[in-house]
């Protein structure tokens, strides 16, 4: 069987548009999930007891549901509750952000709890407020300690964006499937798709590992 890349070359602009959507969705999701997950993780440790219980329910529920189910519910069911139809892209963004944030919150919470309580007591004894203690003592060490796990979540986020094609988000995988169906060359198109995802994710995870190798000493205590 010959390996013909002409379908990829002839449709590169069309595929590139899909790739840009994949990158945009992944980047926005990473930012939103990091902010939301970080806030949830910190509030579960330092927030009031009642709020910690509510947030624990959210985290446990999100981790118990397949990402695909969350995505489909957000696109088809959520608009029935609010009376507003969301575009596929923004439905995918909200669903993935809420889903990934649950996992990031546990990473953040674990990082915070891994820091010895003696440091918190020492900071309070020096007259720091709880906010100052979190910002100056806890967060700097936590950020370093969670980098390896966080890098793993970055790769999962990019890969999870591929399932958004089921709700017609015109991402790279959806457009690859369309071209493959039109040209009858799935071998070439999906092989290139695999290489494209590797090219996106591998530098991302390697960069996080490199940063961690340079900063790991700052997270020791």
Residue 151 in domain: yes
DSSP 118-175: HHHHHHHHTT--HHHHIIIIIHHHHHHHTHHHHHHHHHHHHHHGGGGGGGT---HHHH
Residue 188 in domain: yes
Q: Is 0.85 surpassed by the pTM of this model?
A: yes
| Total of domains in the chain | 1
Residue 41 in domain: yes
Residue 187 in domain: yes
How far apart are alpha carbons 53 and 219 in whole angstroms? 29
The H-assigned helical ranges of the chain are 6-10, 12-46, 49-64, 67-72, 78-82, 88-113, 117-125, 130-133, 139-145, 147-160, 172-183, 186-215
How far apart are alpha carbons 110 and 114 in whole angstroms? 6
Sorted by sequence, the CB contacts under 8 Å of residue 220 that are 6+ apart come out as none
pLDDT for 123:
81
Residue 1 in domain: no
Residues 131-180: pLDDT tens digits? 888 888 889 899 999 999 999 999 999 999 999 999 989 999 999 999 99
Structural domain including 77 reads 6-219
Residue 34 in domain: yes
pLDDT for 219:
67
Residue 149 in domain: yes
Q: CATH code at 205?
A: 1.10.3720.10
Residues 73-99: pLDDT tens digits? 999 999 998 888 899 999 999 999 999
Residue 72 in domain: yes
């Amino acid at each position: 069987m010959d390996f013909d890349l002409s379908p990829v070359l002839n449709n590169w602009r069309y595929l590139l548009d899909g790739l840009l959507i994949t990158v945009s969705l992944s980047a926005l999701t990473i930012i939103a999930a990091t902010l939301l997950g970080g806030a949830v993780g910190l509030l579960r440790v330092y927030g009031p007891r009642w709020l910690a219980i509510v947030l624990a329910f959210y985290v446990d529920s999100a981790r118990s549901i397949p990402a695909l189910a969350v995505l489909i519910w957000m696109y088809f069911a959520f608009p029935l509750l609010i009376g507003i139809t969301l575009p596929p892209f923004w439905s995918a963004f909200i669903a993935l952000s809420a889903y990934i944030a649950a996992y990031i919150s546990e990473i953040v919470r674990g990082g915070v709890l891994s820091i010895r309580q003696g440091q918190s007591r020492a900071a309070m004894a020096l007259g720091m407020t709880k906010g100052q203690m979190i910002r100056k003592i806890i967060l700097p060490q936590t950020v370093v300690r969670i980098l390896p796990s966080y890098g793993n979540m970055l790769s999962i986020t990019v890969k999870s964006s591929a399932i958004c094609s089921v709700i017609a988000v015109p991402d790279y995988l959806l457009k690859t499937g369309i071209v493959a169906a039109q040209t009858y060359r799935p071998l070439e198109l999906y092989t290139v798709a695999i290489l494209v995802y590797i090219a996106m994710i591998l530098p991302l995870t390697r960069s996080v590992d490199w940063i961690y190798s340079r900063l790991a000493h700052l997270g020791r205590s």
